[in-house]
Amino acid sequence: MFWKFDLHTSSHLEALLDKDDTTLTELMDEEDVLQECKAQNRRLLLFLSQDECMKELVYMITTEPPTGVDETKRFKYSNIACELLTCDVGLINDKLGNEEYLLESLYAFLEQSSPLNPLLASFFSKTIGNLITRKTEQVIHGGTWLNKEKLAQRLIELIHPERDEERQSNASQTLCDIIRLSRDQANQLQELSQPDPLLTVVESQECVQQLLQNMFSGERTESCIVNGIQVLLTLLEIRRPVLPMPGSYMVNSNILLAIQPNLADFHHLLLEPPKKGSMLTTMGVLKEPLGNTRLHVARLVASLLYTSSASHAVIAQELCRLDTMNLLLVSGLKTIILYHISVTSTE
């Protein structure tokens, strides 16, 4: 009863693969190209994993299409290219993760002139996130290519008050993804004798100090401070339990040593955050809104108080000296602090 199955579409795809002059975009125009890719259609995968096709796929997700096309169709191939690169097929993952020229083309996206296209930025983040998750051994543990390219430092350079907000946000999110994915991979592969070289760099005192210097150099903008704190919060996330104290977790001491000299700067942000306009509320006009900066500083203080390490006592003493806790209480952030600590302790 072959009439129950619609073989027309797949047979048309096979017919395209039979041709010598079939182009990548012709295949991408087929409705079932993603389905066939995920179904491990060997001929399709061999076609897609060719050098020229992989170059074109990476180009599509990192380069803005020409204007003058209907916006609903303009990013059609970029979207399909992203789906093909992240469909979790071994042959494509291997090709993208093992070829430096493809990785270089991918990371060149971060060096484009501002502003970055937010849709392409989402394609980049999805692709690199999948790559680090699926090919961590090759991309991170299998060599120091990303460190040679100074990926962590270049991303940190993008979190700077002179950069546009979209670029700062994308760099911050990418760093957070790298940290979490690298730690997850380390937890799954506990037999690895060597530490993750990329994570080691991100957690280094030098890198954290550079991030803090960017946050507090020149004009202090909410975007730079908030995106920088998001990276710090990810670095301070719980890692492994410290026995015999359930609920207490170790944090890399390099991170705390880098943050400690800047506690006064964070304290000052509670007193004088980046200026925000008045806010109209149901209770009237709020001349000085609480603001995202203060909220993030409160979360950072809560995370610092929750850490357990040799540097913890020194940080707590410095916060006491600055009278930060009383300032937080006065600022109405007590509930936020207590809530954040309680949530963190139950994770």
Kindly give the confidence (pLDDT) of every residue in the chain, 347 residues in length, as a single tens digit, with 9 standing for 90 and above: 444 444 444 578 888 988 888 999 999 999 899 999 999 999 999 999 999 999 999 999 999 988 877 777 889 999 999 999 998 898 999 999 888 889 888 888 877 776 778 888 888 888 887 887 777 666 655 447 667 768 888 889 989 998 888 889 888 988 998 888 778 777 766 555 566 778 889 999 999 999 999 999 888 999 999 999 999 999 998 655 444 444 444 678 889 999 999 999 999 999 888 876 555 556 665 556 567 898 899 999 989 988 756 556 888 899 999 999 888 877 655 545 554 555 555 45
At which of 188, 215, 235 does a domain end?
A: 235
Can you state the angle between helices 151-158 and 205-216, rounded to 10 degrees? 20
Closest CA to 258 of 202, 196, 175: 202
Same domain for 36 and 120: yes
Q: Are residues 110 and 208 in the same domain?
A: no
Same domain flag for 194 and 229: yes
Domain membership flag for residue 255: yes
* Structure tokens that stand for 162 in this block: 């002179």
For residue 97, tell me if it sits in a domain: yes
Per the rule left: phi > 0, alpha: psi between -120 and 50, beta: everything else, 155 is: alpha
The region that residue 284 occupies, defined by phi over 0 for left and psi between -120 and 50 for alpha, beta otherwise, is left
Whether 13 and 127 share a structural domain: yes
- CA 341 from centre of chain: 24
Mutual angle of helices 222-235 and 205-216, in 10-degree steps = 160
Residue with tokens 């952030």: 333
Domain end residue (candidates: 202, 219, 235): 235
**Euclidean distance between CA atoms 337 and 304, whole angstroms:** 11
Last residue of a domain, one of 235, 256, 284: 235
Tell me what pLDDT residue 279 has: 58
Category of 323 on φ-ψ map: left (φ > 0), alpha (ψ -120 to 50) or beta:
left
Tokens 């204007």 sit at which residue? 67
Is 271 a member of any domain? yes
C-alpha 221/C-alpha 162 separation (Å) is: 9
Q: What is the pLDDT of residue 7?
A: 45
Q: Residue 308 region, left (φ>0) first, then alpha (ψ -120 to 50), else beta?
A: beta
Helices (H) and strands (E) in the chain, counts: 23, 2
- One domain for residues 28 and 78: yes
Q: Number of folded domains in the chain?
A: 3
> Range of 265's domain?
236-347
For residue 116, being part of any structural domain is answered with: yes
Q: Are residues 231 and 259 in the same domain?
A: no
Check whether residue 266 and residue 334 sit in a common domain.
yes
Q: Which residue has the tokens 């600022």?
A: 331
Are both 56 and 75 inside the same structural domain?
yes
- Residue 187 resides in a domain: yes
Is residue 111 one of the residues assigned to a domain?
A: yes
Listed as own residue / partner, the contacts of 255-260 with beta carbons closer than 8 Å and 24 or more positions apart are: 255/203, 255/205, 255/208, 256/304, 256/307, 256/309, 256/311, 256/312, 256/315, 257/205, 257/311, 258/205, 258/208, 258/209, 258/212, 259/208, 259/212, 259/232, 259/304, 259/315, 260/311, 260/314, 260/315, 260/318
CA distances (Å), origin 87, targets 13, 64, 68, 182: 18, 22, 30, 20
Encode 184-203: b = buried (16+ Cβ within 10 Å), e = exposed.
ebbeeeeeeeeebbbbbbbb
Q: Do the beta carbons of residue 337 and residue 302 sit within 8 Å?
A: yes
Distance CA 183, CA 290 (A): 33
Same domain, 38 and 128: yes
Q: From CA 215, how far away is CA 218, in angstroms rounded? A: 8
Residue 276: how many CB atoms within 10 A of its CB?
15
| Same domain flag for 160 and 218 | yes
Residue 336 lies in a domain: yes
Write down the pLDDT at residue 180. Answer: 85
3-state class percentages of the chain: helix first, strand second, coil last, to nearest 5? 70, 0, 30
Residue that has been written with the tokens 């957070």 in this structure: 176
Q: Please check whether residues 244 and 345 belong to one and the same domain.
A: yes
> Coil, helix or strand for 64?
coil
Q: How far is CA 48 from CA 89, 98, 125, in A?
A: 11, 15, 21
